[in-house]
Chains A and B, each alone.
Chain A
Amino acid sequence: MLRITGGRVYDPANGINGVIKDVCIADGRVVADVTDGRTIDATGLVVFPGGVDVHTHVAGGSVNFARGMTPEDHRRAAAFVRSQSLRSGIGGMTPTTFATGYLYAGMGWTTVNEAAVPILFAKHTHEELRDIPIVDKCSMILMANNEILLDLLEAGEHERARHLVAWQIWASKAYGIKAVNPGGVVSWKWGKNSSQLSSPIEGYRNVTPGTIVSGLARIVDELGLPHPLHLHCNNLGAPGNVSTTIETMKLLEGHRAHMAHLQYHAYGGDDWHTMCSATPKVAEYFNAHPNLTADAGAVLFGDTVTITADGPWQHLLYKLTGRKWGNLDVENETGCGIVPYSYRPNNLVNAVQWAVGLELMLLIDDPWRLHLTTDHPNGACFWRYPEIIQLLMNADFRKDCLKSLTPHARERIFLPDITREYTLYEIAIITSAGPARALALPQKGQLGVGADADLVIYHEDKDVAKMFSHPRYVIKAGEVVVEEGEIRNVVEGRPFLVQTTYDPDIEGYLRPFFESYYTMSFENYPVEMSRLEKAEVFECKRAK
């Protein structure tokens, strides 16, 4: 039992905005009162619900591919020395699993969503997730380039497609569905891409990126999955892609959808020399459409490695940068590309990307629908979130940072004219309460009675980046895991997954396809429940 007394509590899910009150914890949950146990005096400190990362890449085949490809980064990265309770590891652009848990928890984040899992590699992803301590985690499987699904959409068999998706989610012990460059990765299997929403994709007559987007959004709603369709639009990173993004959002009217790393999809201009920010258009549409949520996918200057299932984009990035290129196409399902990248303030494109991420967060009115992410590690590493919080909370600091951009770049962005500053209450929404609501995890992102006792206590500081980098205490499931900036106690995180219902006949339909076009036996494909420890299984809510 634990009582946190005297802290200024920010709990937006319960409308609590900086109220001094006690938080009591028993058996890993928030309770109304406790009679004994330890008391933490949080007088003068700030209490937040634990952070929730709605979109990150921390485990699985692609991240591990990137680790293997970039030893030059590991050598300069932070080393994690083992102790009797901590495992050793390496930080940096793609931290090792144990270091990932320590880094997230060390910053006050207690739940993460691994946003891109090829079903064929789901066992690998779950093995890595199990090795990420402290934080709870869920995962999204890649479906928008799954050729079995696309064949069904081609044939107009929507009902069977829905059963297939439901089967795939349960088979991979996932929490939701991710769509990456719908159709584009299928085209990439023949070295091509899909840039037009209404043009059929390579090898299909009827299926277009547009039909995949609307088909999957409908399936997600019909299945009543807790999290909406998690969508990485077509034409990521391309100048002028704002038109694709808005068209895609129009296709989603009447459905729920989560627009992943929106920053990469809000550019104007015609080519790399004329690229500019198009955030007002995106923000205007987004503000008017409450069926949508999004995460920022913000960029910070510095070195990182880009990891995505968007194979054709990574080939382009390799050609642009001339740096290392990793590619792994996954049979019948998806692809994956890796390219190390450095964002530089004196580069026009990078400067626009940096500004666009911040502009979206400042121009979108409703903090509940826009979540803080960097699409780790694509825009920047997750452990740099405090730097973004500082940029959001301090307009003067933003002005200073703008000085490092070229005048040419400053003409192509809207950031210099934006004066909005985030409050602590709003920060608690974009880092915790909002993403928890988007993921439909009612026990997360809040400190009401019955909630999971995941919370973080900060020492308020004018230096916002310092304040959020070094919490005074982090409490996970009622255990104090971080104290005075040190990991004192390692608890295990739990996996979250969704129980779907499907027509069992779908297996009979799948088996022949599987035996012809896959290279493992059908029985070997699903992830066994025994691979997951202490899993929490969520039910689907049937949509109206």
Chain B
Amino acid sequence: MAAQLGGKVSCTLGEVKNRADFIVYWGSNPADCHPRHLSRYTIAQKGRFLPRGRKDRTVVVVDVRETKTSNPADVFLQIRPGKDFEVLTTLRALVKGQPVNPQLVAETGVTVEQLQDLVDRMKRARFGVMFFGMGLTMTRGKHMNSMAILTLATEMNAFTKFVAMPMRGHGNVTGADVVMRWTTSYPFAINFSRGYPRYNPGEFSTVDLLVRGDVDAALVLGADPGATMPMPAINRLAGIPTIVLDPKVTHTSRLARVHITTATTGISAPGTSYRMDEVPLTLRPPLRSPYPTDEEVVRRIHQAVARKPDWLTAHSGTSPIAQA
């Protein structure tokens, strides 16, 4: 959503591995949450232009508390919770040499001097990257925080090469995002009820639809909203016919009307996964499963639905909304 507002200056992870001599983790703790990230792509790796690996890189962590990621960092800035947007905006001002108010900056938990030092280091870098996680994107300010960090990276390109990248998780969430965009133009929160895709986050997002009670059936695929969504949304899922496709028993499958056990994608089912930098990877399952794949189940449901009279045609001339 932040990229919709101001764009996004990014790269694939190999660019980070080969070139990034300056790495920032903001509100992100990959040492715990993306355990292979640090060793495969960033700190521990030697790159094409960084033959000494860790010694050639400066690592900065910005977070509200010390973490496993912040321990080995060269610079750790501990900011107060909910002050990310203020810090990012101050950095943008300092990058451009604008005056800032030290008292207001102090409220964020860091000093102007600390931030000026960070800006100086950023400008000295040959290739800087800022990874940001849910500590930034899911706290107060949400996508406006993401936009602030993306804009900071964008504006840094007036001085040196700089990129930013969200630390995405949840399996193949990027793949869902990518496919939705090429089929509908939009990444999520899409409503097909008029026969074409409409987009309005906050209105058509899953949580909002559930909380408002607009939904009278749900199909959950590769997700466990029963574990993460707010209670009113979970209660709604429990009250309507909810179908879950999942290899395992989950919070959502326990409250669902139907749970279809499927093969685990990547382990016993083939497919394509999109990495968080949108690079597609072929999944080659080493095992076989007695269960059908997600794709097969969805295809069979679709075939069965297709045999029913067409919804749009059946309601032509009358307003389905008025009937409901």
Contacts and interface: CB of A to CB of B under 8 A. Distances in A.
Interface of A: 59, 61, 63-65, 67-72, 74-75, 79-84, 87-90, 92, 94, 96-98, 120-121, 123-124, 127-128, 131, 147, 189-191, 203, 315, 318-319, 324-332, 338-339, 516-520, 524, 528
Contacts of B127: 189-190
A68 B4 contact: yes
Given A71-B186, A88-B196, A325 B7 contact: yes
A116 B8 CA distance: 20
22 contacts: A65-B278, A71-B199, A74-B199, A79-B197, A82-B312, A83-B310, A89-B183, A120-B279, A124-B278, A124-B280, A189-B15, A325-B9, A326-B10, A327-B10, A329-B163, A330-B12, A330-B15, A331-B18, A516-B46, A516-B48, A519-B41, A520-B281
Given A61-B278, A190-B126, A331-B12, A69 B7 contact: yes
A61 B179 CA distance: 11
B215 interface: no
Interface stretch (B70-78, B130-138, B154-162, B225-233): B154-162
A331 to B, nearest CB: 3
B282 interface: yes
B7 A74 contact: no
A388 B46 CA distance: 52
Contact of A97 (B8, B12, B182): B182
Given A327-B163, A331-B14, A331-B15, A98 B183 contact: yes
Nearest to A93: B185
Given A71-B186, A330-B12, 4 more contacts: A69-B3, A87-B183, A329-B12, A528-B282
Contacts of B14: 331-332, 517-519
Interface in B159-198: 160-161, 163, 177-178, 181-187, 192, 194-197
Contact of A519 (B6, B13, B187): B13
| Candidate in A89, A325, A518, A519 with the most chain B CB atoms within 10 angstroms | A519
A450 B16 CA distance: 52
Contacts of B278: 61, 64-65, 121, 124, 328
B114 interface: no
Nearest to A77: B185
Contacts of B312: 81-83
Contact of A81 (B8, B40, B178, B194): B194
A84 B195 CA distance: 11
Contact of B197 (A90, A147, A319, A331): A90
Contacts of B178: 64, 124
Contacts of A528: 282
A74 B186 contact: yes
Contact of B17 (A70, A326, A331, A338): A331
A88 B192 contact: yes
Contacts of B194: 79, 81
B18 A131 contact: no
B92 interface: no
B47 A517 contact: yes
B313 interface: yes
Contacts, number: 170
Contact of A67 (B182, B195, B310): B182
User: Which 3 pairs show the lowest CB-CB distances between chains A and B?
Assistant: A331-B14, A324-B7, A329-B11
B300 to A, nearest CB: 19
Contact of B282 (A67, A74, A524): A524
Contact of B184 (A88, A92, A127, A203): A88
Contacts of A524: 281-282
B280 A331 contact: no
A90 B187 contact: no
A123 B5 CA distance: 28
B57 interface: no
B47 A325 contact: no
Contacts of B11: 327-331
A128 B199 contact: no
Nearest to B201: A71
Contacts of B13: 331, 519
Nearest to A98: B183
Given A67-B181, A315-B157, A519 B17 contact: yes
Contacts of A315: 157
Nearest to A61: B278
| Candidate in B8, B17, B280 with the most chain A CB atoms within 10 angstroms | B280
Given A81-B194, A124-B178, A128-B182, A68 B47 contact: no
B154 A325 contact: yes
Interface SS of B by simple majority: mixed
B259 interface: no
Contacts of B19: 189-190
Contacts of B17: 331, 517, 519
Contacts of A331: 11-15, 17-18
B196 A123 contact: no
Interface in B25-45: 40-41
B61 to A, nearest CB: 22
Contacts of B279: 120-121, 519-520
B272 interface: yes
A96 B181 CA distance: 8
| Candidate in A70, A89, A96, A338 with the most chain B CB atoms within 10 angstroms | A96
A189 B162 CA distance: 10
A79 B41 CA distance: 41
A82 B196 contact: yes
B243 to A, nearest CB: 22
A69 B157 CA distance: 19
Interface in B108-128: 126-127
B12 A90 contact: no
Nearest to B46: A516
B282 A326 contact: no
Contacts of B6: 324-325
A71 B272 CA distance: 26
| Candidate in A92, A98, A124, A330 with the most chain B CB atoms within 10 angstroms | A124
| Candidate in B157, B161, B183 with the most chain A CB atoms within 10 angstroms | B183
| Candidate in A128, A331, A520, A528 with the most chain B CB atoms within 10 angstroms | A331
Given A329-B12, A330-B11, A518-B14, A64 B182 contact: yes
Contacts of A79: 194, 196-197
A120 B15 CA distance: 12
Interface string B302-319: 000000001011000000
Nearest to A99: B185
A327 B181 contact: no
Contacts of A84: 310, 313
Contacts of A75: 199
Contacts of B161: 189-191
B9 A332 contact: no
A327 B155 CA distance: 13
Contact of B10 (A71, A88, A328, A339): A328
A518 B48 CA distance: 10
Nearest to B165: A328
A63 B185 CA distance: 10
A81 B311 CA distance: 13
Contacts of B272: 123, 127
B18 A332 contact: yes
A332 to B, nearest CB: 6
B183 A96 contact: yes
Interface in B138-161: 154, 157-158, 160-161
Contact of A123 (B10, B15, B160, B280): B280
A318 B7 CA distance: 10
A319 B7 CA distance: 13
A98 B183 CA distance: 7
Nearest to A126: B280
A90 B185 contact: yes
